Amino acid sequence: MKVNLSEAKNIIKKYCAKEGALIPLLQDVQAIYGYVPEEVVELISKELSIFPVEIYGVLTFYAQFYLTPRGKHTIKVCQGTACHVMGGGEILSYLSDTLGIREGETTEDGIFSLERVACLGCCGMAPVIMVDNDFYGKCTIKKMEDILSNYQKEKSI
Amino acid sequence: MEIKILICMGTSGVSAGALEVERNFITELKSCGLDKKCKIVHTGDRGLFRDVLVDIIISDNRITYQYVKPEDVSIIVKEHLLEGEPVRKLQATEDYEQFFSGQMRIVLSNCGEIDPEDINDYETHGGYDALKKVFQISSQEVIEEVKKSGLKGRGGAGFSTGLKWEFCSKPESDKKYVVCNADEGDPGAFMDRSVLEGDPHSVIEGMIIAGYAIGACEGYIYCRAEYPLAIKRLKKAISEAKEKGFLGSNILGSGFSFNITIKEGAGAFVCGEETALIASIEGHRGMPKTRPPFPAQEGLWSKPTLINNVETFANIRHIIVKGAEWFSSIGTKESKGTKVFALAGKVKNTGLVEVPMGMTIRELIYGPGGGMVNNNIPFKGVQIGGPSGGCLPEELLDTAIDYESITKTGAIMGSGGMIVMDEQTCMVDIAKFFLKFTVAESCGQCTPCRVGLKRMLEVLEKITCGEGEEEQIIFLEEMGSAIRDTALCALGNTAPNPVLTTIKYFLDEYDAHIKEKKCPAHVCVELVKFEVIEEKCIKCGQCYKVCPVSAVVWQKNDYAKIDKAKCIKCKACINICPTVAIE
């Protein structure tokens, strides 16, 4: 698939004169494309005279950036201390087994991406997962089945 | 007479259904004609992080409702607002009272009480009074006041805030910066987020005062991108403060100008370290640098930079308004004021608690914490200070909470995460958990942290799957202290703490894993057999019902059996078994 670069050009224009703008620039790019495409990295490199290696250095340093397209829904499984103590690890391995993907990967049908996060800050409701922008607290394996099937059903509608 | 309805709209309130509760209040109030008399106030979280709290305030009378569901709203409106009879069965119970009694809320005083998106509400609660006050005194006097208060940085290291301000005020420079560290990455701590969501102006006010004191006119708030609500509220607060003239040029006619920019983090724990944070704001990989030079001399864009954490800034306005003497009257000889803890794990009441320094850990857990969640499963340990902190046993529960006493135990105050663990928690597993975290978050720059921590983790992995050997304990201790002494930054220096403290206080558990190949808490799955002990089984069949892969064979009035070929070792059966009959 060819990447449309016109939006990336606008973002670069917005940031080109600002100091220390690389990270917010990449964040905006990801907000538009869902990930940071190779073509956009090349474009930034050319327009702002930054070596690609420097841009990739930043991209791979921070957990937030993706270099491949993401699934339609991103499941973030909290692995904070409270969630760990309350069974968050079991939730993560259940999701990983059921979806057949490891953390950081996307299912073949492109519906789910699975991620671990250090702490979602809802320790009182541990274990917690977040699907896109929705929180689900006091998670159990049974509850995971229901949540997954709800999102899967949505696809068939 | 106006009726105030406070609804908790923090992240957890919203995820527990606060939006529907509010919607129902609006329709119900309209339909009975009360909408003109009532004012709905959206507040941040009050600290419990579990449910939707609604407070009804009629003149001085305040009733708190907990676990409010959307369908409860019509009952509250009818019985309480129309008939004047509070709905007893929905009212907050003893747990709620216990959680708040024994706390001393200074930093959190506005959280859950005011509308964080309304600057007027902040002002009626004394907001920006401190700013008006500092403009009447010199910047040197402001620094003196903060120094006299004894406030120490709440980010973890506990360095004197006043001294830091003084160092930053000294160098002559055309430009200086104030940076608020809101990159709260510690798994299990969320006080900064709560303050930003519930009372963003208190942080902004603290930053402006700091700017005035050290002579900086530009500020940055470096906030985790995982906190979208906090960022949204900060943006709103900054624009409101600008409109009112608290930010911008010539603030309140004082001649002093100050602006604040928000920088979103991109997901790297190490960016909480101040030199890494500066690198990240500058747009680079967030890698720490050796100090000196300290940021106070050469920080952001090589200019003198003051970095304080959210909770530190939130204390400032109280110190200015009520005075250093008042602040230093709270706490212990060396540690003044209060500290906010994120209490979680196996305690009855989890959430944010703010207590005066000097309270003991036991008083905190059994006071606001309400004791253990399950009275039948005894306390085992408490983890303080997150991945840089340590695990303390029962014998040390009477340790006072202050920087000096906690450091003496081998743990650190850190940012204030406090996770309570019971007999069902495996201490070796906890040490492994934190090490896994620091290994993943190490920036990879220095060898002790990059390689040393990884070697320690490999050993812990062996121990938890039954391949441990006795001499490995000595290896862990030696490697741990070498890393502590030689790593470049605080992340590396403190990363061995969880391992070193668990070896120090819970050696018997390491022994059980190594010598007997057993995990006493049944946490390390490789050491769990997944067999039903028939003498203990009460044939209730709960394990059969909960198993997600139908690996449990059970019939009424018969013992359960586990089909090991099907079992995925998810431990759902162990967790639900009422008699601990699965080994």
Tokens of B201: 């102006």
Find the CB nearest B570 among A79, A119, A141: A141
| Domain identity same for A89 and A135 | yes
In B, which residues are within 8 Å of A117 by CB distance?
Answer: 226
**A85 contacts B419? CB cut-off 8 A:** yes
| Domain identity same for A103 and A57 | no
Nearest Cα to B224, choosing from B266, B285, B279?
A: B266
| Domain identity same for A100 and A150 | yes
Considering the domain boundaries, does residue A1 fall inside one? no
Asked if B281 has any chain A CB less than 8 Å from its own CB, the reply is yes
What's B296's domain CATH number?
Answer: 3.40.50.11540
If contacts are CB pairs under 8 Å, which of residues 71-90 in chain A contact chain B?
79-82, 84-87, 90
In B, which residues are within 8 Å of A27 by CB distance?
Answer: 225, 264, 266
pLDDT, position B187: 78
| Domain identity same for A49 and A79 | no
| Domain identity same for B397 and B536 | no
CB pairs under 8 A between A and B: 146
Identify how many contiguous H helices and E strands chain B contains and give both numbers.
25, 15
Distance CA B423, CA A38 (A): 50
Considering the domain boundaries, does residue A91 fall inside one? yes
**A86 contacts B345? CB cut-off 8 A:** yes
| Domain identity same for A40 and A84 | no
What's B21's domain CATH number?
Answer: 3.40.30.10
Find the CB nearest A124 among B225, B282, B344: B344
pLDDT, position B10: 80
- Write the pLDDT tens digit of every residue in A26-65: 999 999 998 999 999 999 999 999 999 999 999 999 988 9
Distance CA B311, CA B342 (A): 13
Which range marks the domain in which residue B496 is found? 427-515
- Write the pLDDT tens digit of every residue in B39-84: 999 998 888 877 889 999 998 899 999 999 999 999 999 999 999 9
In A, which residues are within 8 Å of B430 by CB distance?
Answer: 84-85
| Domain identity same for B448 and B572 | no
| Domain identity same for A77 and A152 | yes
**A87 contacts B283? CB cut-off 8 A:** no
If contacts are CB pairs under 8 Å, which of residues 96-155 in chain A contact chain B?
97, 117-126, 133-137, 140-142, 145
If contacts are CB pairs under 8 Å, which of residues 166-205 in chain B contact chain A?
184-190, 193-194
Query: Hey, is B218 helix, strand or coil?
Result: strand
Considering the domain boundaries, does residue A102 fall inside one? yes
| Domain identity same for B301 and B400 | no
| Domain identity same for A39 and A92 | no
pLDDT, position B188: 76
| Domain identity same for B180 and B324 | yes
CB atoms inside a 10 Å sphere around CB B64: 20
| Domain identity same for A44 and A90 | no
Distance CA B515, CA B508 (A): 10
Last residue of a domain, one of B282, B299, B328: B328
Considering the domain boundaries, does residue B523 fall inside one? no
**A65 contacts B570? CB cut-off 8 A:** no
pLDDT, position B472: 97
Considering the domain boundaries, does residue A21 fall inside one? yes
If contacts are CB pairs under 8 Å, which of residues 48-67 in chain A contact chain B?
57-58, 61-65
The structural domain count of chain B equals 5
Tokens of B216: 């900086």
E-strand stretches of A9-118: 73-78, 112-117
| Domain identity same for A79 and A53 | no
| Domain identity same for B316 and B349 | no
User: Binning pLDDT at 50, 70 and 90, where does residue A86 land?
Assistant: confident
Tell me, letter by letter, the H, E, C secondary structure of B194-211.
HHHHHCHHHHHHHHHHHH
| Domain identity same for B222 and B305 | yes
The answer to whether the CB of B186 falls within 8 A of the CB of B180 is no
Find the CB nearest B350 among A21, A23, A123: A123
Closest residue in chain A to residue B49, using alpha carbons only = A124
Average pLDDT, chain B: 93
What's B569's domain CATH number?
Answer: 3.30.70.20
Query: pTM of this prediction?
Result: 0.91
The structural domain count of chain A equals 2
Asked if B350 has any chain A CB less than 8 Å from its own CB, the reply is yes
In degrees rounded to 5, what are phi and psi of residue B531?
-125, 145
| Domain identity same for B399 and B455 | no
Query: What are the residues whose beta carbons fall under 8 Å from the beta carbon of B261, sequence distance 6 or more?
Result: B218, B219, B220, B221
CA contacts within 13 A on the Cβ side of B501: 31
CA contacts within 13 A on the Cβ side of A18: 15
In A, which residues are within 8 Å of B284 by CB distance?
Answer: 22, 58
Asked if B48 has any chain A CB less than 8 Å from its own CB, the reply is yes
Q: Please state, in angstroms and as integers, the Cα–Cα distance from residue A64 to each residue in A23, A36, A76, B226, following that order.
A: 11, 11, 12, 9
| Domain identity same for A30 and A84 | no
In A, which residues are within 8 Å of B351 by CB distance?
Answer: 123-124
Considering the domain boundaries, does residue A95 fall inside one? yes
Considering the domain boundaries, does residue A31 fall inside one? yes
Considering the domain boundaries, does residue A67 fall inside one? no
Distance CA B56, CA B81 (A): 9
Query: What are the residues whose beta carbons fall under 8 Å from the beta carbon of B504, sequence distance 6 or more?
Result: B410
| Domain identity same for B203 and B175 | yes
In B, which residues are within 8 Å of A87 by CB distance?
Answer: 571, 575
User: Binning pLDDT at 50, 70 and 90, where does residue A118 land?
Assistant: confident
- Best of A12, A23, A60, A133 to substitute, by most chain B Cβ atoms within 10 angstroms, is A23
The overall longest dimension of chain B from CA atoms, in Å, is 83
Which range marks the domain in which residue A111 is found? 73-156
| Domain identity same for B406 and B475 | no
| Domain identity same for B154 and B277 | yes
| Domain identity same for A141 and A93 | yes
Query: What are the residues whose beta carbons fall under 8 Å from the beta carbon of A122, sequence distance 6 or more?
Result: A78, A128, A135, A137, B11, B12, B15, B49, B190
| Domain identity same for A78 and A123 | yes
Last residue of a domain, one of B300, B328, B356: B328
Q: How far is A40 from chain B (nearest CA, A)?
A: 17
The answer to whether the CB of B567 falls within 8 A of the CB of B550 is no
Mean pLDDT computed over B132-154 = 97
Considering the domain boundaries, does residue B506 fall inside one? yes
User: Binning pLDDT at 50, 70 and 90, where does residue A1 land?
Assistant: low
Nearest Cα to B4, choosing from B64, B71, B74?
A: B64
Maximum average pLDDT range among B39-48, B185-194, B463-472: B463-472
Last residue of a domain, one of A32, A61, A90: A61
**B264 contacts A133? CB cut-off 8 A:** no
Distance of CA A99 to the CA centre of its chain: 16
Closest residue in chain A to residue B417, using alpha carbons only = A81
Q: Measured at the alpha carbon of residue A43, what is the angle toward residues A41 and A48, in degrees to the nearest 5?
A: 95
What's A111's domain CATH number?
Answer: 3.40.30.10
- Write the pLDDT tens digit of every residue in B278-313: 999 999 999 999 989 999 999 999 999 999 999 999
The answer to whether the CB of B95 falls within 8 A of the CB of A124 is no
| Domain identity same for B318 and B344 | no
If contacts are CB pairs under 8 Å, which of residues 362-401 in chain B contact chain A?
383, 386
- Write the pLDDT tens digit of every residue in B509-537: 999 999 999 999 988 988 988 999 999 99
**B187 contacts A80? CB cut-off 8 A:** yes
User: Binning pLDDT at 50, 70 and 90, where does residue A157 land?
Assistant: very low
| Domain identity same for B20 and B134 | no
What's B475's domain CATH number?
Answer: 1.20.1440.230
Considering the domain boundaries, does residue A66 fall inside one? no
